Amino acid sequence: MPFSPLQNSDVAHLFHPYTNLEAHAASGPLVIVRGQGVRVFDETGKDYIEGLAGLWCTALGWGEERLVQAAADQMRKLPFYHLFGSKAHEPGVRLAEVLAEMVPVKDAKIFFAGSGSEANDTAIKLIWYINNALGRPVKKKIIARDKAYHGVTIASASLTGLANNHRSFDLPMAGVVRVSCPHYWRNAKPNESEDQFCTRLAKELDETIIAEGPDTVAAFFAEPVQGAGGVIVPPENYFRHIQPVLKKHDVLLVADEVITGFGRTGQWFGSQTYGIEPDMMIVAKALTSGYLPMSALMVKGDLYKIVSGEAGKIGTFGHGFTYGGHPVAAAVALETLAIYKERDIIGHVQSMAPHFQAALKSLADHPLVGETRGVGLIGALELVADKDDKIPFDPALTMGAKAAKAAQDQGVIIRAMGDVMAFSPPLVIDKTDIDQMFDRVRTALDGMVGS
């Protein structure tokens, strides 16, 4: 089929992220032209259920006029201002105030950035800054987990535990220490209970810190649910085993809630779902329902005091982003949070989650599916060559990518991470659309059997 004018222009000029760039030149893009509710539409008018809420972010779906109006109003009033040099604007101040009251971070101070990568990068810099202020110049190493995803800046990509984010980029940087991810189905030993599995991972963490030297290990970064690594849902008590180890060795816990923040797991934050007590926490994506780029880093009050004291000695805090706390993004974020509360989005997620998880698990009997897993309104199907022995497909077969394309052909957009099909639809999805989404996915998988 010949390319449309937009597809031709795309191939000629646009540099795509997370794309097989050679294959893209031959296949061209899927050009999305509008969205409404949980659906988006391409150039031909075909509709797709957006099974990943764009990139885990469009929590309120498309066409939310209140967010459009909030942006327009703020654009007319104050389209840009910054927070450098003791300057402030009302949307930024009000948003910091609202977030500080919401988040499970004691006496939180809020630092704004434009993306999760920037916020995680800032957290790393702050951790180094704090330890220098405390006279601990070697306590700088960061522990992250296999299959973690924390971003794509040099520092945050180093914490990310995915090979394709490192290959040919000269990453990871020095000072990053890797431990196992809590994927019980894939990584548990024979006859090992979930509690025994968690105990073993906590022991691994303890031994890793001791081997590296507790005086050199500064922080542990963790997503409550590992999103881009394959929607890895931890056993219920995993973090309750992990946190005492961190406290014993004076290692900070940074919760990356870029995907799980604002209702995805059925609570405001994944930290509340899994009993996490973070020293720092990062949010983005659903903060503005994806309508504008914005992220926030929450820092415990006692840590902020250390940063403030060091900045006082130096004469400034030498870090920040031009667009951090942008007033239009902040205004949209405030309206987004107001809508979440007014419409009881948390209650809606809790009411939809059992239906979503049941529909997901209904695909467990499919010959291509090894495991279904999820919590709240996030989930995944892991495709395997042999269900009984959990044998994965040869990566050269690119089964996950083929499954995502088959689903797209059926009118569902999801994301494949290797051979894992991820689902994270807008939080406003209803039972009818949940059923239609998974019916279309089953049809797609059925068409792949024996192919």
Contact (CB, 8 A) for 384 and 425: no
Q: What's the CA angle centered on 329, arms 324 and 332, to 5 degrees?
A: 150
- pLDDT score, position 121: 98
Task: Please report, in tens digits, the pLDDT of each residue of the chain (451 residues total).
Answer: 789 999 999 999 999 999 999 999 999 999 999 999 999 999 999 999 999 999 999 999 999 999 999 999 999 999 999 999 999 999 999 999 999 999 999 999 999 999 999 999 999 999 999 999 999 999 999 999 999 999 999 999 999 999 999 999 999 999 999 999 999 999 999 999 999 999 999 999 999 999 999 999 999 999 999 999 999 999 999 999 999 999 999 999 999 999 999 999 999 999 999 999 999 999 999 999 999 999 999 999 999 999 999 999 999 999 999 999 999 999 999 999 999 999 999 999 999 999 999 999 999 999 999 999 999 999 999 999 999 999 999 999 999 999 999 999 999 999 999 999 999 999 999 999 999 999 999 999 999 997 6
- pLDDT score, position 1: 74
* Strand ordering across the sheet containing 369-375: 369-375, 378-383, 420-423, 415-417
Residues comprising the chain, all counted: 451
Contact (CB, 8 A) for 142 and 221: yes
Alpha helices in 78-139 (DSSP H): 90-102, 116-133
- pLDDT score, position 451: 62
Closest-CA residue to 249 (of 222, 286, 211, 282): 211
Q: How far is CA 281 from the centre of its chain?
A: 12
CA atoms in the 13 A half-sphere facing the CB of 175: 19
Cα separation, 385 vs 49, in Å, equals 27
Q: Is 379 exposed, middle or buried (0-12, 13-18, 19+ CB in 10 A)?
A: buried
Cα separation, 103 vs 85, in Å, equals 26
Q: Taking the model in full, what pTM does it have?
A: 0.96
The residues near 365 (Cβ < 8 Å, ≥ 6 apart) are: none
Tokens in use for 391? 């044998």
Contact (CB, 8 A) for 436 and 411: no
Q: Sign of the C-alpha dihedral, residues 121, 299, 310, 97?
A: positive
* CATH T-level topology, domain 67-342: Aspartate Aminotransferase; domain 2 (3.40.640)
Alpha helices in 249-300 (DSSP H): 270-273
Supply the CATH classification number for the domain 31-63+344-448.
3.90.1150.10
Closest-CA residue to 178 (of 145, 216, 140): 145
Contact (CB, 8 A) for 273 and 266: yes
Tokens in use for 350? 């809790």
Contact (CB, 8 A) for 219 and 130: no
Domain boundaries, the chain: 31-63+344-448, 67-342
For the chain, give the longest Cα–Cα distance. Answer: 68
